[in-house]
Structure 1
Amino acid sequence: MTLADHCYDLIRSDIVTGVLPPGQPLKMDALKVRYGAGFSPLREALNRLQADRLVDLASSRGFRVSSISLEEMWDVIQTRILIETDAIRKSIQYGDDRWEIDVVSSLHALSLQSQRLNELDRPATNEEILSLEKRHSAFHKALIASCQSQWLLSFAEKLYVETERYRFPILTDRKLNKKRNLNDEHTRLANAVTSRDADGAAALIEAHLLKTGETLENNFEIIFPDQNQLAAG
């Protein structure tokens, strides 16, 4: 891993977890101190984050964390539905035994971490939540891994990254997700794909993503209380 890769991972994590909130200016001097890196690797990392749409560059103001909005959130979710329903159908068509095993094992890993967090008698740490998110990402990647299209996989990865910072506050506040049984949703998805039920799996992934969008919309002002002020500014 290069220093630029390391900076990219650290800054991306801080954006996703809200340490660097939407609209936050990303001044080079402050970044050098925070991440212990020089101008070149930081610039390379910020350019990559700009390609991921997590960072904006304004010629007069420099880099800043990209803003968020309900409109963008729904655009990303609806596009994810288009990409992932197609990819999951193709994975069911082309997937072999190894693919099924990966789906089941990634579901098990996700369920274990989810259970650990549910049993906590204290708020989960960012590190614990990031571990859950890593396993969640691995599960969703496993579902579509055998679609045999690098374009679909690339688009799916970019869109997943876009939704992470919207979803992270839900992961840290279990009260916001109390009406959902996410383990059941994930288990039904895994069962559908390993049963080779393409229509069922496509319907389940669409419903899963729509429920996430609805949860976020219903709690948007609670999760991002400063966003209207940022948009106005």
Structure 2
Amino acid sequence: MTLAETAHAALRRDIVSGALAPGMPLRMSLLCDRYGMGMSPVREALNRLHSEGLVVALPLRGFIVAPVSAADVTDTTDTRILIESEALRRSIAAGRPDWAAGVRDTLAALLEAAGTEADALERLHHAFHRALVAGCGSPRLMDLFERLYSESERYRYHALTVEAREGSRDLAAEHRAIAQAALARDTSGALAALETHYRRTETVLKARLPEPAPTPRRRVRAAGSTAPA
């Protein structure tokens, strides 16, 4: 890996895991000290993370970790369902043997990984969802899939392991239902199972977000009053 790739991997890991909190200023000098690198690879990593939607560039103020919100969770979920449903529909219609084998293999690996640490489980989860749509035949749809998956990863990072440990959801059954319907060429069933899976995740993630700070109310001055508003 180049220094820029190493910086990107380290920064991305810290953002996704929450070690660098949403809204946190990403000052160049502090990042260079934190990762033991010069400004050039760190700046390149920040620009790449900006393109992935994980950091925000503020005019004349540098970068901050992208904020999180319930509205953003819903927007990301809606868009993922739109893009992945079309890609999955095309993959099922094409029905190539290598696509089907990829879905079966990645599902098996994901189901066997119960209790695995979060980073490894997330990689297997990504591989499964990518395999579902990989037969769509559209590089642009695949690019959109990767971007949206990346943007949603920090919301979802702990959900897989926490929910599996708490038993609040049967994630294995949800993933199995999507795959089985897709492999059976049951397009409507596969799309419904995919949307149900994402909507359940959306509900869980929104419930875990902190409550937004209340908006200060402005005091209304009575006619002729000199009290400050």
Shift, 1:174, TM fit:
3.3
Mapped to 2, the partners of 1:68 and 1:176 lie a distance apart of 25
Aligned to 2:99: 99
Aligned partner of 1:198 among 187, 191, 202: 187
Larger radius of gyration: 2
Shift of 1:64: 1.1
Whose relative contact order is higher, 1 or 2, with alpha carbons under 8 Å and at least 6 apart?
1
Specify every segment of 5 or more residues in structure 1 that has no aligned partner in the other structure, as ranges: 118-127
What does residue 124 of structure 2 align with? Answer: 135
User: What corresponds to 1:124 in structure 2?
Assistant: none
Look up the match of 1:217: 206
Q: Which has the higher helix share?
A: 1
CA distance in 2, matches of 1:172, 1:201: 24
The runs of 5 or more residues in structure 2 that have no matched partner are: 217-229
CA distance in 2, matches of 1:3, 1:112: 34
Deviates more, 1:41-50 or 1:26-35: 26-35
| Partner residue, 2:38 | 38
Match of 1:207 among 180, 196, 201: 196
* Matched length: 216
Cα shift at 1:177: 5.9
Measured in 1, the distance between the counterparts of 2:161 and 2:23 equals 21
Q: After the TM superposition, which residues 62-81 of structure 1 pair with which residues of structure 2 at under 5 Å, given as runs?
A: 62-81=62-81
* C-alpha contact 1:170 1:177 (8 A) present in aligned 2: no
CA change 1:219–1:178 in 2 (3 A) is: farther
C-alpha separation between the residues in 1 aligned to 2:69 and 2:20?
Answer: 16
User: Does 1:171 pair with 2:185?
Assistant: no
How high is the sequence identity, in percent, across the aligned residues? 42
Q: Which amino acid aligns with 2:4?
A: A
Task: From the superposition, tell whether residues 177 and 200 of structure 1 become closer, same or farther in structure 2 (CA, over 3 Å).
Answer: farther
| TM-score of the two chains, using structure 1 as the length reference | 0.87
In the aligned structure 2, how far is the partner of 1:131 from the partner of 1:36?
A: 25
Provide the TM-score with structure 2 as the length reference. 0.88
Question: Could you list the runs of 4 or more consecutive aligned residues of structure 1 that deviate by over 4 angstroms after TM superposition?
Answer: none
Q: Distance in 2 between matches of 1:102 and 1:199?
A: 20
Deviation at 1:176, TM superposition (A): 8.7
